[in-house]
Amino acid sequence: MKSKGKYIPVLICTLALLFLIYHLDITQRFLFIYREQQSMFLYDFDTICERYLSLGGFSLFISHFIVQFFSIKFVGPIVTALIGVVLSYLIWLVVKRIHQALYLLPLCFLPLFYQVNILFDFNYNYEGFISFFLTTVFLYLYVRFAHSMKVPYRIAFASILSLGLYLIAGSIGLLLSCAILVYDVIQKEEKSYLQLITVALILLLGFYLIITGELQSSRYAYLNDFYYEPTMEPHLTIQYSWVALIVLLLVALILRFIPKMKASIEIVITIVCLIGVGSYFIHDANKSRRNIIYPIIELQDYIVNEQWDKILNSRYLNINNYLITNYANLALSHKGMLLTHLFDLPQDGANSIMLQGNFAETTPEIWAISAHILYQMGNIASARNIAFDSFVADRYGNPSIIKMMAKTNIIYGDYPIAEKYIKILEKTWRYKQWAKDYRKFLFRDDLVEADPELSQKRKDLPPEGTYPFTRGAYVDLLNILDGDSPDKNTIEYAIAFLLVTKDAQSLSQFMDKYYGTKVLKEVPVLLQEALVENNEFDLGYCHEHGVSEETINRHNQFIQKFMETQQKGLNPEAALKREFGRTYWYYSLCKF
């Protein structure tokens, strides 16, 4: 039984690895990809020195190097699961020296599970996970080699490890020093209380970094907050993995006093603990996933990779959320379906087309989608401005935003500025080919004019003296339409704005100005429906502005069905949805 028992830890770790890979892929697939979009790794000596030769720079370097490959399918889940199982096994090797009970092995996965749970929060940097892994490595090194050392050497070794970890990985050095202290006390090492010196050294170093301005406050000097976005306030759960590591050592001490069990009983208890820990992890992970940000992150990935069909087939489209509707409308525009399928989606005013005013919060997600929407509209000036704001705000660079900056500056003919962004992308692993493809446009107006996308966007540029986005997105669209070669996407977005805002006056002005011109030679059906509703007592106006008899007859059917439902005391919204749910009339009825 003993010979078979030695393989059980390997079996448990293998099962945990497979479970984690599957679970992480199911629950955090798009979070891994999102992290890749927020952490550009540049193969550039000056950038490496500037970014990583700082407090915690080594763990940041390792995390950014790993994260750059998360765009490859399964790399994020596999790498994270592998690192996680290794760190859990290292904890097990430490705990075994306190108490050799197999059923403690499943408990050694608890710190990992808390770390994985924090990774559901994209504001928690992957650097924190790498730093925790380094902590378990350093703790194991201490336990492995300090046992035979004399007191002064043991204290010195612990101090070197803790201070070294603090310098290369940040505040987690304090956790290591506390874990070493607890371990020595549990093991009754000679003068174990002297490990308080190690803890004191870390506290003093943190205090020094605070008073010199290197760190903002004690939160960043002594807590897991060091690895959280500085402008955000983390939940208390961010500290759980640190606490779990210390508690695990104490639990091992307590369980030491339990009499030795039969191997078969110990295996049964181990299985029960493993199932319990796994169930707890799944339950906690499912709670963390119930957040509107996860659908948004998934749709953001589809936009970055121009997978418009995946957006339109997404299960999230019926969620009543402005940002999700923004993504869907952008996909419809790219597919040429904006004015045929506009009311297939839960539209609700101008913010459904693009977030504006108080809804346009200054967050990376909103900046990113706004830049893409404005670019699709043909509002290149505003797209460039918002992309630049995002570029400045991103600490480590967002490749999709840098692409936008390169393209918009090429369109403007600002080639030296565009080259600056192309050079950044040339220093990356994934985007250097894109940079190479766009480098050919630099200082070559003839090539820009020959490219269908870039040439059209150049024609969309506003006349000099205009200030885009000062009077709203719709006014900017009208300015673009007054140009020599109006963009089809610009026309469709302008009409979409008119429809979702139900602005009858602006719609009449739009029709009077543009009907019969190159902007509006034919009137889309949804626009016809709006014209009929706004001019139902002046059908002559409708006929003069491109409304078909079919649309007029269908409107009469809608009115008749509406009157019948009222007479029967039925809910018009429910009764009319099946037949008219995708019409302007139904939208106008439901959105007061």
Question: pLDDT tens-digit profile of 165-202?
Answer: 999 999 999 999 999 999 999 998 889 899 999 999 99
CA distance 87 to 83: 6
Q: pLDDT (tens digit, 0 to 9) for every residue of the chain, 592 residues total?
A: 455 557 888 888 999 999 999 999 988 899 999 999 988 999 999 999 999 999 999 999 999 999 999 999 899 999 999 999 999 999 999 999 998 888 888 999 999 999 998 998 888 999 999 999 999 999 999 999 998 899 999 999 999 999 999 999 999 999 999 999 999 999 988 898 999 999 999 999 999 999 999 998 899 999 999 999 888 888 888 999 999 999 999 999 998 888 777 777 877 888 888 888 778 777 776 666 666 678 888 999 999 999 999 999 998 888 888 889 999 999 999 999 999 999 999 898 889 999 887 666 667 678 888 899 999 999 999 899 999 988 888 888 899 999 999 999 999 999 999 999 999 999 999 999 999 999 999 999 999 999 999 999 998 887 765 656 667 788 888 888 887 777 899 999 999 999 999 989 999 999 999 998 888 989 999 999 999 998 888 888 888 888 899 999 999 999 999 888 888 888 888 888 888 889 999 988 887 5
Return the structure tokens found at 454.
């870039």
Return the structure tokens found at 299.
């749709």
CA distance 337 to 351: 19
C-beta atoms surrounding 514 within 10 Å: 19
Residues 172, 135: contact at Cβ < 8 Å? yes
CA distance 329 to 141: 55
Return the structure tokens found at 135.
């902590």
Return the structure tokens found at 518.
């190159």
pLDDT for res 1: 45
pLDDT for res 551: 92
Return the structure tokens found at 538.
């002046």
SS percent in the chain: helix, strand, coil, step 5:
70, 0, 30
pLDDT for res 102: 85
Distances (CA, A) of 113 to 16, 124, 241: 11, 15, 8
pLDDT for res 462: 77
pLDDT for res 537: 83
CA distance 354 to 382: 13
Orientation of helix 75-98 relative to helix 110-118, angle to 10°: 150
C-beta atoms surrounding 229 within 10 Å: 15
What pLDDT digit, counting tens, does each position of 370-384 carry? Answer: 899 999 999 999 899
* Environment class of 315 (CB within 10 Å of its CB; exposed 0-12, middle 13-18, buried 19+): exposed
Strand, coil or helix: what is 207? helix
Indicate if the alpha-carbon torsion angle 109, 114, 115, 121 is positive or negative.
Answer: positive
pLDDT for res 359: 62
- Both ends of the chain: CA-CA distance in Å? 75
Question: What's the predicted TM-score (pTM) here?
Answer: 0.89
pLDDT for res 244: 95
Residues 351, 359: contact at Cβ < 8 Å? yes
CA distance 308 to 314: 10
pLDDT for res 393: 83
Distances (CA, A) of 32 to 25, 75, 165, 279, 364: 9, 9, 26, 23, 16
pLDDT for res 7: 81
Query: In terms of residues, how long is the chain?
Result: 592
CA distance 311 to 370: 16
Burial letters 259-281, b for 16+ CB under 10 A, else e: eeeeeeebbebbeebbeebbeeb
